[in-house]
Structure 1
Amino acid sequence: MKIIELPIEFEFNGQKNYLYPSLIILNNELTLVDTGYTNFLSLIENEISKNGYEMKNLKNIIITHYDDDHIGSLYDFKEKYPWINIIASEIESKYISGEMKSERLVQAEEMLENMPNEEMEFGNWFIQQLKNLKHVSIDEKVHEGDMILDNKCRVLATPGHTSGHISLYFPSLKSVITGDAAVKENNELVIANPDFCLNVEKAEQSLTMIKNLKVENYFCYHGGKFTL
């Protein structure tokens, strides 16, 4: 088993940006963690094939949490590869499937009410982005401590950024896939976007818990791989 990061380059507001979804390879089966923004399907496909793997072997997609940069292309993946098993936490699955209005959308609409005029345009755009996300039903709902992927991966509940956020711990690889529970900034691990955290205190606790695992590799969705 191994984990590789998939650096996805894209442009936002005229600036070059990167996201780093993870690909888990286990017995020739592939598991993708998070799917990027809408229209990232081909970018991720290209990166997977560049690494010598075939999409026909993509068995699972694990979603760490509901945010447009993590679930944006999930619907497209499921449409194109209908056999894929989609895994998420029970809490986040309610938002991803559309059973409940997402926390992020509720937060964005509340923030819009007190936003200065010069930020209104972005606020409205962001709300529309969230409303445009297509709902996808979750095949496998997981909880803290669940062992998945042939018992090689332990699900970690890492709330804060969102309430049902999960990270993935691989004891045999001494590695964690962090989602947005930890991001790499200035060569250290910090919480993602404190201003958008639904609960900063819980986010800090989750970050501390992840750091205390004493692993060697942190696969961060923002900032890329951090190695101790």
Structure 2
Amino acid sequence: MIQKLSQGIFDLNLEHNGMHPVLIWSEQDGATLIDTGMPGSLEVIQESVREAGVAWNDIRRIILTHQDIDHIGSLPAIVASLPSKPEIWAHSGDADVIEGKAPFLKMGADRIATMPEPMRQALEQLSVDLKDIRITRLLEDGEQLPVGGGLRVIYTPGHTPGHICLYVPEEELLLAADQLIVKDGLLTGPNEAFTPDMPLAIKSMSKLTSLAIRRVLCYHGGVYDQQPEEAIEKLAHASN
């Protein structure tokens, strides 16, 4: 079930796999989708957008927080489903992967070999389909985006070279992507097993300590609102 985070901002909460894409909507700016789930998530995301009271064809842009398959897996299908081609925004650090010009950072031959055959086929098809994707806006650290009342880009590399968080100052809301995770009711740092440069990811954590944050939405784990500033401060300093 979706969760309304504020006026016009919705956690789409893909309950079948526990992932949390975000929808931002206003009459002026139309709809913005942040991340696209695993391959095969098109229909469940469409249902969640409709549940939020937003028309699917109102999606004007897609923001990708980073290159991982669970964030860009349904990108080609979503783009193909929209009558007006949406803008696609992402950081340059992951642009080549998102555009199908480079292999996924974390999808080496050993990992692919352990996947069930349907997943391997979906990954192969995604690699082909991404070649038709073109990023229309490269996002930069500190940039204010004209959606959600002013969405601030926070560049947090480490989990991937182009990982970003997004901050909504008016709501004191951090969309943390995979920089933070809610696990067993606690706010933790990125999953070390899937973070190729953990020291850099921890260094990136310090960028979040200066923000006024009442709530964090983690792509894995959902909303955390139990004094998140203190939790983030501890995570940043515990790893120094």
TM band (smaller chain): 0.7 to 0.9
Native 8 Å contact 1:22 1:219 kept in 2? no
Q: Distance in 2 between matches of 1:218 and 1:86?
A: 24
Q: Which runs of 5+ in 2 are unaligned?
A: 1-6, 228-240
Q: 1:19 offset after TM fit, Å?
A: 0.9
Q: 1:52 offset after TM fit, Å?
A: 1.2
- Alignment correspondent of 1:21: 21
- Amino acid corresponding to residue 88 of structure 1 in structure 2: A
Q: Distance in 2 between matches of 1:100 and 1:157?
A: 21
Q: Distance in 1 between matches of 2:106 and 2:37?
A: 16
**Residues 163 and 128 of structure 1: is their aligned pair in 2 closer, same or farther, counting only changes over 3 Å?**
farther
Please give the TM-score of this superposition, normalised by the length of structure 2.
Answer: 0.80
The partner residue of 1:199 within 184, 197, 207 is 197
Which has a greater percent of strand?
Answer: 1
Deviations 1:36-74 (A, max 9, x none): 011101100101111211112111110001111100100
Q: Distance in 2 between matches of 1:101 and 1:223?
A: 27
1:158 and 2:151 aligned: no
Give the CA RMSD over aligned residues: 2.3
- Alignment correspondent of 1:103: 105
The partner residue of 1:226 within 224, 227, 233 is 224
Please give the TM-score of this superposition, normalised by the length of structure 1.
Answer: 0.84
**Residues 210 and 140 of structure 1: is their aligned pair in 2 closer, same or farther, counting only changes over 3 Å?**
same
- Alignment correspondent of 1:33: 34
Q: Distance in 2 between matches of 1:122 and 1:53?
A: 35
Native 8 Å contact 1:163 1:198 kept in 2? no
Q: 1:121 offset after TM fit, Å?
A: 2.7
The partner residue of 2:125 within 126, 132, 155 is 132
- Alignment correspondent of 1:182: 180
- Alignment correspondent of 2:10: 4
